[in-house]
Chains A and B, each alone.
Chain A
């Protein structure tokens, strides 16, 4: 894959996010600007309540900013319809959650193939592609099990497979090792490192400095602002 290296995929300009809890407003983000370029490996760190989860939700189009501009390849995200945003989450981005967020009734392979349903891929092709991805991340023999029959590491591999299935431009991960023991966490991080080596772009949120150490670019958030060091 050859990409124009200096052109950002994601460009956030002065993003703010204000939550209203009844009559009290909480300013989760107070003006964050950043760029994500191809093959970036970014970690976002910060204390609990620093706004790091909010930021990654906005970057991955799961949430919308209160103000500021967010561009995906020079297109303003606020101009997109719900339908188009769903399409972006489906094919442009992949997302790995702390708590895996797998559908309990589906097998590993079906969980991996889930985004393909919304991409309009036919059933036969879905299974083939999901199997291919699972082989790659070392879970081929556990593919037909359900999440409750898998270990945490296996679940997170399924979740990574699901994030990868549509060859996304950016993979977002929110505390990907947060629910795992340190050994399994390290295995997951190895997968991430390998993905970046293969040319993928990863943005992850973590509070663990050991995890953040894997990233090439580190962002620290404090009270809704990027802390410059």
Chain B
């Protein structure tokens, strides 16, 4: 219809006549939409990074442990401490299940220091596992060699180091064949893992892998503290055969209950943790952030909307005579209503478009100057449009009705 273009043209003309006023009016919406687009694209970027990392990590692993990664309330450590330790024999039994490809027993020791001659590297960890660890955890041995079964059974004091440790202790030489001091024990480096990067901000290359048999010898199972009793000892990392996690989880649960002699009326005394649980937790956390954004957006859009309503009321008052003239020569109430409504919608949409552009620029800026990666999705742009149009309609309807309801005679007398 030609009349809608006429109304739009008239609206744009009005804004042109009041440039500064129109800009200030849309400021609230600009700020609101900018904030929403910038933060949403940062959350989206974070989501993508995390899911990429989880995939790189191999999200199909199941960890059999005494404790759950995600507790929904108070953790009763005393009760957890009473649970039986998980053992390499458990890993072996799980590995024989039809639905399971491989299971590896894994023990670890955090925040330790490794030394080579006069160099040392601290805040790294020691992992004790077997020859299948690298396969299960997607590590590649870049130089030297991986463990063999013999290394495990013969308790060879050998280790494979992450790239971070290699870079710090052996900056100018090949680490393979060199000896390290691991908390007073001598360990020979037989291989170096290829760099794997970070997961949720933690380096995946700052550990040394030694045979679990050696680990047991170096660091006898301590039961001194409740933390040792709960978090010490082995966990079992399980790689299921197919991607059918549910069958694998059921099989492992059934096997472990049998091995621990649990009757049907007793609860599990172990936990099955998956990386998917971390993903879920992460998504729950970002959902909270998301709700916070929606709240911020709502507030700023309401403020912006009130600004628009205010300026539209001023505009109606200023143009009372004009409205009177238009009505006198045949403009219907409906025509006047839609004219003012279109004006407020366009005003809000202009703010929305500026906000979308600024939000995208802000997100790009944050991406360049910080490690956070922003990703703008098409739905965010639609959301920005939708929100500002809704604000324009909601806060424009009252001034527009007021304009439409003016008595032509009184409006014509208005000076």
Contact = CB atoms under 8 A, between A and B. Distances in A.
Interface stretch (A32-40, A117-125, A150-158, A181-189): A117-125
Interface stretch (B68-76, B175-183, B272-280, B331-339): B331-339
Interface string B178-196: 0000000000000000000
A118 B328 contact: no
Interface string A54-85: 00010000110000000000000000001100
A101 B413 CA distance: 10
Contact of B329 (A105, A120, A123, A162): A162
A94 to B, nearest CB: 8
Contacts of B412: 97, 101
B257 interface: no
Contacts, number: 64
A82 B328 contact: no
Contacts of B269: none
B330 A87 contact: yes
Contacts of B3: 117, 120
B411 to A, nearest CB: 10
A157 to B, nearest CB: 16
A101 B325 contact: yes
Interface in B246-261: none
A22 to B, nearest CB: 16
A118 B332 CA distance: 8
B329 A90 contact: yes
A51 B274 CA distance: 88
B409 A86 contact: no
A29 to B, nearest CB: 14
B332 A57 contact: no
Interface in B302-347: 321-322, 324-335
B408 interface: yes
A50 to B, nearest CB: 17
Contact of B331 (A95, A102, A118): A118
B202 interface: no
Contacts of B322: 103
B408 A82 contact: no
Contact of A86 (B321, B335, B407): B335
A123 B10 CA distance: 14
Contacts of A83: 332-334
A97 B324 CA distance: 12
B333 A86 contact: yes
Given A86-B335, A97-B412, A117 B6 contact: yes
Contacts of B333: 82-83, 86
Given A62-B409, A63-B409, A89 B330 contact: yes
A114 interface: yes
B2 A115 contact: no
A119 B330 CA distance: 8
3 nearest A-B residue pairs (beta carbon): A90-B330, A86-B332, A118-B330
13 contacts: A62-B408, A86-B331, A86-B332, A90-B329, A90-B330, A91-B330, A101-B325, A103-B325, A105-B17, A114-B326, A115-B330, A118-B329, A118-B331
Given A101-B328, A118-B329, A118-B331, 12 more contacts: A63-B408, A82-B334, A83-B332, A86-B333, A86-B335, A87-B332, A89-B327, A89-B328, A90-B330, A95-B328, A118-B332, A122-B2
